[in-house]
Structure 1
């Protein structure tokens, strides 16, 4: 009889202990979900990654979470909630030339790699609900005109978008600096799944410090730009709150 009582007690303890562990696990998961739900813009900067993308007040408003998507890259979301893309950890939003209305959002940003003395000036122009963005021929003519370019575009096909990209080298006239040139990559992205949705982009690379070594490899830079534009994902169109 004593053995039966001891066995029953042991089973009861095991069951209650198991329930307790399950409750703890649930609480832990709930806490994790609550933490993930908090946007970086609402967090204390001390608790954020110590990189410009999060330490700059204006930039972190665009950051989706503190999770690193790839080494050195986090996820940006437009304020119109029209698209997401990879964003470099040393990137900073530039309010100059930025704008936003019901159908258009322009997001300029700069990224400076101090160790390589390499500066990136980028601009993403997102459009929704406008007919002209659907016409590749019209858009590419516009991109050519804006960049003083007369050549062709390379077409990259993805599951949900067509990407048209080109590049050119710009030499700065009457510039005595050692690095008196830049490489600009530009183009147009058309959604193949959503009507009247697209992006015009521009990425310019240069060496800002004349006293430090710098190498601008156009092939390597091109791969970097393609990585960023290929990462763009168009979202369901919602009006910003």
Structure 2
């Protein structure tokens, strides 16, 4: 009769102390608990010393402190509709941002002082809206909003279709010798996630007339494409 009692006692001990779990398993659990702490809930002095984390509003969107690529971290929309690479020197702009049940606009600025380069960007995410899955309708809207009559380059990924175009704008009545900007804009359609998509706009300019400007030599399109290709549409909260 003592043997069954010993077996039962051993099973209970395993359940409470993690019998059969090696050190790697235990470390994995501990790491998961650590990663569960969001940057917005951490002490700023324990966060990366870059604007994306040191700015209070911006770090609310940051997924973790892990640098995904050199100079980039991961942002997640508050509607939990998508994730994308976000520059370390990017800062959320509340002036042009907004959110409701099915639409979220995330505007941000990014300033590279050494290059005298300013980026003003806007990501408009839509869900549960029928028009967002119609490329013809959306591209006409993008053309109208940007005063553009040309064609779009189509970048195909496994999980999305990206339409992108660009134009050079000149500022009128501006004495700044760098009185121009490059604007990249377009539309992203999710073939897998129905009634979900993104309209985007990235404007690059040189804010300081006293310093050299390298916009014409910079690979601005590559930078925009990197961020747009990184977008992943998420499946959370799709219930009606």
Same fold per superposition (TM over 0.5): yes
Cross-structure match for 1:125: 124
**Offset of 1:215 from its aligned partner?**
0.8
Cross-structure match for 1:85: 84
| Local SS of the residue matching 1:66 | coil
Cross-structure match for 1:162: 161
Cross-structure match for 2:94: 95
Counterpart-to-counterpart distance in 2, 1:219 and 1:166: 17
Asked if the contact 1:125/1:200 (under 8 Å) is kept, the reply is: yes
Q: Summarize the Cα distance change of 1:98–1:24 in structure 2 as closer, same or farther, 3 Å threshold.
A: same
Cross-structure match for 1:186: 185
**Offset of 1:97 from its aligned partner?**
1.6
Cross-structure match for 2:14: none
Q: Summarize the Cα distance change of 1:137–1:219 in structure 2 as closer, same or farther, 3 Å threshold.
A: farther
Cross-structure match for 2:147: 148
Counterpart-to-counterpart distance in 2, 1:157 and 1:118: 29
1:17-32 pair list within 5 angstroms = 27-32=26-31
1:200-211 pair list within 5 angstroms = 200-211=199-210
Asked if the contact 1:81/1:239 (under 8 Å) is kept, the reply is: no
| Local SS of the residue matching 2:96 | coil
**Offset of 1:34 from its aligned partner?**
1.6
Cross-structure match for 2:109: 110
**Offset of 1:32 from its aligned partner?**
2.0
Asked if the contact 1:41/1:60 (under 8 Å) is kept, the reply is: yes
Cross-structure match for 1:14: none
Counterpart-to-counterpart distance in 2, 1:108 and 1:219: 22
In the alignment of these two chains, the number of paired residues is 221
The superposition leaves residues 182-238 of structure 1 with CA deviations (integer Å, 9 ceiling, x where unpaired) of: 000000000011111000000000001111111113771001100010000000041
1:66-77 pair list within 5 angstroms = 66-77=65-76
Q: Summarize the Cα distance change of 1:26–1:194 in structure 2 as closer, same or farther, 3 Å threshold.
A: closer
The superposition leaves residues 119-177 of structure 1 with CA deviations (integer Å, 9 ceiling, x where unpaired) of: 00000000000011011000000000000001000000000110000000000011100
Cross-structure match for 1:37: 36
**Offset of 1:33 from its aligned partner?**
1.9
Larger radius of gyration: 1
Counterpart-to-counterpart distance in 2, 1:236 and 1:168: 34
User: Which TM-score applies when normalising by structure 2?
Assistant: 0.88
| Local SS of the residue matching 1:139 | helix
Cross-structure match for 1:63: 62
**Offset of 1:26 from its aligned partner?**
5.3
| Local SS of the residue matching 1:160 | coil
User: Which TM-score applies when normalising by structure 1?
Assistant: 0.87
Q: Summarize the Cα distance change of 1:164–1:106 in structure 2 as closer, same or farther, 3 Å threshold.
A: same
